[in-house]
A and B are shown apart, each in its own frame.
Chain A
Amino acid sequence: MRKTLMVALAVFGQAAGTLASAKLAFAGDQLTIVSWGGALQASLRKAVFEPFTKASGIKITEGEYSGEIAKVRAMVDSKTVSWDVLDASGTTAWTMCAQGLLETIDWKKLSLDRAKFGDVGKYDCGVPVQVSAVIVAYDKDKLPNGPKSISDLFDTKKFPGKRGLSKGPVPNLEWALVADGVPINDVYKVLRTPEGVDRAFRKLDTIKKDVVWWTAGAQAPQLLADGQVLMTAAYNGRITNAVKESGKHFEIMWDAAAQGWDYWVIPKGSPRLDDAYKFLAFGGSPQPQADLTRYIPYGPSNKDALALVDPAVLADLPNTPERDAIALHADNIFYIENGDDLRQRFTSWLAK
C-alpha cells in the first residue's frame, strides 16, 4: 500500500516537476554550476563562466554550497539531478566518486591531454581545476610577531586569544598531530591508528575553548577583519584577495599548509551531459586556468597553464616548489575509508 502510494505520488511529482520546469526553463542551452561562493566564485565567474558562455552560447545558472554531499546524494538517489557541474574539493570529490555519485569521466570526449595534469589527473570522476591551500592567516597590524609554525596555532600561552578554524576534521586533526610533534609525512600513518586519533583530539582539546568555528570560506577573512580572532585557518586565495580589496595587512603562514585540489565533477544522471562535458573541457584548458590566477591565487592543474600565469602572481600560488616541500598533502584514500568515522567523532567532540 505504502509502495503504491509512493509510486503514485512519484508519478505525480515527476509530472508536476516537469510541468513547472518546462514553464520556467529559459530558452536555449543552460547549465547549473555550483561552487563555493564568495571570492572564489566571483573569480570563476570572470575567468571561466563568462568566457565559457561567450565561447559556447551556453548560459550558466550559478549556485553555491558548502560541500554537503547530502544534496548530491538526494538528487542522484531520486534521479532529479539539477546540478550539472559541481566544484568539489579533494576529499569530498574522492568520497563522492567512491560512493558512485558522480559520472565517470571519459577523457577521450574532453579533447584534453590527461598527461598534462600529472598525478592529480588520476582521479576518475572529474577534471582537476586548481589547487588551494588552507593556511594560517593573521593581521600584521595587530600581531607584528605572528605565528611561525603550526605549533604556534596551538600555543595559547605565546598567542593568547581566539583562533578561527574550519568546522570539520580536515585539516584540524592533521595540524594537531603536526603541532604535537608528528613529522608531517607520518601524519596519516598515525591517524590510521585509534591512538593517533585520540592523540589528535587531545591536542585539539587544549585550544577548544579558544576556537571560533567557521563553515564557509568567506567567513575566515571576515573574522580576521572584524578582529573576532587573532589568527585563523583560511583558504590562501581568500586572504590574498581580502588584502587586495581592503588594504588590510593580513599575512599568510605557509607551514603545514593543507593543499587541496578542486575538481569539476558531474553528478550521476545529469540531464545535460554533453554541455557539462563541454564545460569540463573548457575548465581544464590552459587559458581559463591561467586567467583564474589573475582573480584568485589558486594554482592551475594543467601544466600548460603555468606558462601563461603572470610572474607576479606566481608568488602567491600555494604550489610553488618551496611551499610544496613544507605542505601537508591530503591522503584521499584515507578519507574515503575513515572520513565518516572522523566526522562523526568530530561532531560528538564539538557538541560537548
Chain B
Amino acid sequence: MATMTVQIAGSPDGMPLRIKLQQVERWRKLKAFTLVLPLLLFILVAFVLPIGRMMFNAIHDETLLTLMPQTSAALSVWDGKDLPDERVYAALAKDLKQAWAQKITGMIAKRINYELPGAGGQVTSSARKAITLSAGPYKAALIEISPLWGQRDVWSLLKRGHSAYTAYYLLRSVDYQYGPESQIVASPPESAFFRNVFLRTLGISISVTAATLLLGFPVAYLLATLPPKTSNLLMIMIVLPFWTSLLVRTTAWVVLLQDHGIVNDVLMALHVTSQPVELIFNRVGTMVAMTHIQLPFTLLPIYSVMKTIPTTHVRAARSLGAGPFYAFWKVYFPQTLPGVAAGCLLTFILCLGYYVTPELVGGATDQMVGHFVALYTNEDLNWGMASALGAILLTATLLLYYVFNKLVGVDRLKMG
C-alpha cells in the first residue's frame, strides 16, 4: 500500500506529495509565526511578565521571613496554644536589635501594623529599647517593654510570616482578615471598606454604561438612517472628542463645572438657581466626565451594527400593519442587540479601570478601585495590598474580556 502511494503521488525527488505539502504548510506556518514572534516575545516580557509578577505579589510576602529570620525559625515549632517559650523571645530580641542597627525596624513595624493596627509603634519602640537588653531572660523583659509581646495574636502573625505566601492581602481586599488564632474573621468596621469600593466601582461603571447607552442609542440610530453626507458631518462631532487628549477633556469639565464655571454661570443667569450648584469634585462631576469619555465607545459599535440592518425590514413590518413603535421595537431593535452588547461591554470593561478622571474631578468618596491600587503603591507603600486589589480588578476585566471575545471577537475591533 505504502509503495503504491509513492508510485502514484511520488514527486521527482521521491518524496510523497502529501508529506511535501505538509512540509510546505508547516514551513508557511513557521514563517507566519516568525513574523509574530518579536511582538509576542515583547508583550510576554514587557507586559505579561510584569503583570504576572504583580499577581504573584498579591500572595507572596517575605518581609517577616527575611527581616526576622531567627524569630521565624524559632516559631516553626511553636504549637500556637500558649505564649512561646524563652528561646523564641531570645530570638526576637536578637532580631529586634539587628533590625534597629540596620534601620529596618520601620519595615517590620509596617508589616505587623497591616494585620495588627496600632502594633507598629510598639514594635519600633520595642526595638529601640531592646538594644539595652544584654542578657536574658528575655521573655519577661520584652513583655515589660511592651505588652504587645504578651499577646498571642502577634505570635500567630509572626508564625504565619514563616511562610513566604500569605492570603492576607486577598482576604483584606474583600474585608476579611486573620484573627488571633489565624482563623479567618471579618475585618472590624473601621477598616472594612474594600467591598464598598468594589461595589462603588461596579455601581459607577453600570451607571455610566447605562447613561452612554441612553444617550448613544438615539444618536447612533439617527446617524445610521441619515444620508451619508449629513451623517459624516455629525460623525466628526463624535470622533473629535474621542481623539482629544483625555486630560484636555478633563480640564474642560473642570472649567465648565466648577462653582463659578460656565455651567453655573448659565444656570444662575437663567435664575434656575441662586447659589452655585455643586457639580464637581463629587459623584456628579465623575459621572458626567466619564460618560463624556465613554459615549463614543458605546455609540460606535451600535452604529456599525445599525448600518447593516436593511431599512426594508421596518418598512415591511409597517406595510403589514404594525404601528411605528411596534415595528421599531419588534423588528429593528432586536437586530441592534449585538451592537448594544458589544458597545456596553466595552464601556463597562473600560469603566472598571478608571483612575485619572475620578482622581481629577471626583471627591474622596467617588474613588474607584484604580485609585486605591495607585494609593497603596505610591503613598502607603503597601505593595501587597496594591497587588491584591489589582489582581481582583484584573481578573474581573479579563473575564469580561473573554466574554467580549466570545461574543464579538477581537478581530472585529476597529478604531475611529
A residues near B, CB below 8 A? 9, 68-71, 73, 95, 98-100, 167, 192, 194, 197, 201, 211-213, 226-228, 336-338, 340-341, 343-345, 347-352
Contact = CB atoms under 8 A, between A and B. Distances in A.
Interface in B67-92: none
Contacts of B109: 337, 340
Interface stretch (B300-308, B376-384, B400-408): B376-384
Contacts of B102: 100
B190 A70 contact: no
A352 B365 CA distance: 7
A99 B259 contact: no
B171 to A, nearest CB: 15
Given A98-B103, A344-B382, A350-B365, 15 more contacts: A68-B379, A70-B377, A71-B378, A95-B106, A226-B258, A227-B259, A340-B110, A340-B380, A341-B118, A341-B120, A341-B121, A344-B113, A349-B190, A351-B372, A352-B193
Interface range for B: 35 or more
A68 B120 contact: no
Nearest to B119: A341
Contact of B260 (A71, A95, A227, A347): A227
B250 to A, nearest CB: 15
Interface centre among B107, B258, B372, B378 (most CB of A within 10 A): B378
Nearest to A197: B118
28 contacts: A68-B378, A68-B379, A69-B381, A70-B379, A95-B106, A99-B103, A99-B104, A100-B104, A194-B118, A211-B364, A212-B363, A226-B259, A336-B106, A336-B124, A337-B109, A337-B122, A338-B118, A338-B121, A340-B120, A344-B380, A344-B382, A345-B117, A345-B191, A347-B380, A349-B190, A350-B364, A351-B197, A352-B365
B217 interface: no
A338 B120 contact: yes
A197 B367 CA distance: 25
Contact of B367 (A69, A227, A349, A351): A351
B55 to A, nearest CB: 13
B364 A167 contact: yes
B94 to A, nearest CB: 19
B335 interface: no
Contact of B381 (A70, A213, A345, A348): A70
Contact of B364 (A98, A201, A351): A351
Nearest to A168: B379
A-B pairs with lowest CB-CB distance, top 7: A100-B103, A337-B121, A99-B106, A351-B193, A338-B121, A70-B378, A348-B191
Contacts of A336: 106, 124
B173 to A, nearest CB: 13
B125 A337 contact: yes
Nearest to A349: B190
Contacts, number: 95
Interface in B241-285: 258-260, 276, 281
Contacts of B258: 226, 228
Contact of A348 (B105, B110, B193): B193
A187 B372 CA distance: 30
A69 B103 CA distance: 16
B147 to A, nearest CB: 13
B215 interface: no
Contact of B117 (A71, A73, A228, A344): A344
A341 B105 contact: no
B232 interface: no
B281 A212 contact: yes
Interface in B358-380: 363-365, 367, 372, 375, 377-380
Contacts of A201: 190
A351 B365 contact: yes
B151 interface: no
Nearest to A167: B364
Contacts of B196: 351-352
A73 B364 contact: no
A44 B377 CA distance: 29
Nearest to A227: B259
Contacts of B197: 351
Contacts of A100: 102-104, 106
Contacts of B281: 212, 228
A336 B259 CA distance: 39
